[in-house]
């Protein structure tokens, strides 16, 4: 029994990255650091717990590049129930080694739009469609369904995603997904998660503060306050 306990303590951990909210530069820095930490710790796998409406294309591409360069398998679980992998999140899901979804989640609607909500031209859409299809091809998923998320704003429930080979499994919790991962194909052979401790990393406080301070709505509000202060000084010296 003591030998079994020692093996459990020594098992490589599974690093869960809680990626909740917009895909922005703060999120990209967070994922980059956590994947690097997982590599340093010799983690058995990384699980990105994903719930996002989308975000910046540049930040999404940074996250995808980190996932592709990782020496540790990087998987995605869209959850908990009610979560979504919208827009940029669909690209991150497409790049994962294994993709699970919780019941009551959805994925898709990845048509790129401008900062003002306007549709972008065909050149930008075609580039995004080719990129997400290439990610799906690389991970053995249905490239046409992923392409349709960009060209036709396709959005799929968890059940539809599994039926169309967009995702591999439906699991009710991140723990269940980690258990399901054991023995599944990874980039360096089968993923080994049996008995692995699960370590969850949420956005640290200093990055959360930076995200708030970089919010465009807050920046605009502070600009208005500054202009009001200047006006007050001019008219009431």
pLDDT at 210: 53
Whole-angstrom Cα distance, residue 223 to residue 214?
A: 13
Whole-angstrom Cα distance, residue 191 to residue 132?
A: 24
pLDDT at 212: 55
Question: For 71-104, how does the pLDDT look when each residue is reduced to its tens digit (9 = 90+)?
Answer: 999 999 999 999 999 999 999 999 999 999 999 9
pTM of the entire predicted model: 0.84
Pairing of strands 189-190, 185-186: antiparallel
Q: Which two tokens stand for residue 180?
A: 């399901």
Query: 202 falls in which pLDDT band (50, 70, 90)?
Result: confident
pLDDT at 11: 77
Lowest mean pLDDT segment, chosen from 11-25, 54-68, 93-107, 223-237: 223-237
Q: What are the residues facing 16 on neighbouring strands?
A: 47, 200
pLDDT at residue 1 is higher than 70:
no
Looking at residues 46-73, what average pLDDT do you find?
A: 97
Query: 131 falls in which pLDDT band (50, 70, 90)?
Result: very high
Say what percent of the chain tops pLDDT 70: 78
């Amino acid at each position: 029994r003591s030998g079994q306990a020692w093996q459990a303590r020594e098992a490589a951990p599974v690093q869960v990255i809680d990626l909740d909210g917009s895909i922005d530069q703060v999120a990209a820095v967070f994922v980059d650091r956590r994947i690097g930490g997982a590599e340093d710790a010799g983690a058995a796998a990384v699980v990105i717990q994903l719930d996002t409406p989308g975000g910046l294309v540049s930040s999404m591409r940074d996250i995808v590049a980190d996932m592709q360069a990782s020496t540790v398998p990087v998987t995605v679980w869209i959850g908990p129930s009610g979560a979504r992998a919208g827009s940029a999140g669909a690209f991150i899901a497409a790049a994962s080694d294994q993709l699970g979804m919780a019941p009551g989640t959805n994925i898709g609607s990845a048509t790129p739009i401008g900062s003002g909500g306007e549709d972008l031209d065909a050149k930008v859409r075609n580039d995004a469609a080719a990129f997400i299809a290439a990610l799906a091809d690389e991970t053995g998923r249905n490239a046409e369904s992923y392409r349709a998320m960009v060209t036709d704003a396709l959005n799929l429930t968890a059940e539809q995603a599994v039926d169309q080979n967009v995702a591999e499994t439906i699991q009710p919790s991140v723990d269940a997904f980690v258990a399901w991962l054991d023995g599944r194909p990874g980039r360096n052979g089968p993923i080994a998660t049996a008995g692995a401790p699960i370590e969850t990393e949420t956005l640290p406080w200093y990055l959360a503060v930076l995200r708030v301070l970089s919010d465009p709505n807050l920046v605009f509000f502070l600009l208005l306050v500054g202009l009001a202060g200047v006006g007050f000084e001019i008219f009431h010296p």
